[in-house]
Amino acid sequence: MNAVSPRQLVLALDHATSFAREDFLTGPSNAAALSLVERWPDWPNPIVALVGPEGSGKSHLAAIWAETTGARVLSAKLLADSDLPAALSTGALVLEDLGFAGLDERALFHLLNLAREQGAYMLITTRSPLSSFPVAIRDLASRLRAVPTVTLPAPDDALLRALIVKLGADRQLTLDDTLARFLINRIERSFAGARAAVARLDEEGMRQHRPVTRALAAEVFREP
């Protein structure tokens, strides 16, 4: 039987993302959102929202807040079929990835009213501003417009470079700042884009039995 090296076994491992506070990389683009999470319960309103594109760090921040508050986490996709009083039973709730497509307006309206009646805290994550949801229930539209919002824009270069180096370390790869600078000019400028790029380099390095270097990155991410 052919021996399999430990490095080859990495292909079968799941590189899970850590949502611990110490693993959250900070920069100017997410400073306001992190400040909001960390200054709880000193919030402008018991219900607040984090708005940003996929991979901008919303879920990580929500996980940090949930760990601090004991909040339950409810996917917005399951809102219509959920026991809403139970969801609010700890006095804090993360409503994750709220979007207008497929939204049960009555269930959301009921949840917001119930949270207000019980004095519960809610952190909503969404990719679009709540005020932009074309809901038919007028009182719901009013409630959504009143929710204070912090926006997470695309990460700046310094944050992206730090993320790439960290993602490499998570995979036992040494990615220096020069390689990180090379990558950020050739990938989607988002956390999701950085994760995909590092994963692609790792897999290609293992496939070719080569170290992950700038030379390999230049081959993988050739400019058209």
Q: For 100-148, what is each residue's pLDDT tens digit? A: 999 999 999 999 999 999 999 999 999 999 999 999 999 999 999 999 9
Q: Return the ∠ at Cα 35 (arms to 32 and 40), rounded to 5°.
A: 135
In order of 191, 203, 208, the CA distances from 220 in angstroms are 19, 11, 12
User: The pTM is what?
Assistant: 0.79
Q: Which of 140, 198, 191, 189 is nearest to 167 (CA)?
A: 198
Q: What does the domain layout of the chain look like in residue ranges?
A: 6-16+155-220, 30-151
Q: Which class does domain 30-151 fall in? A: alpha beta
| Residue 23 tokens, joined | 């693993």
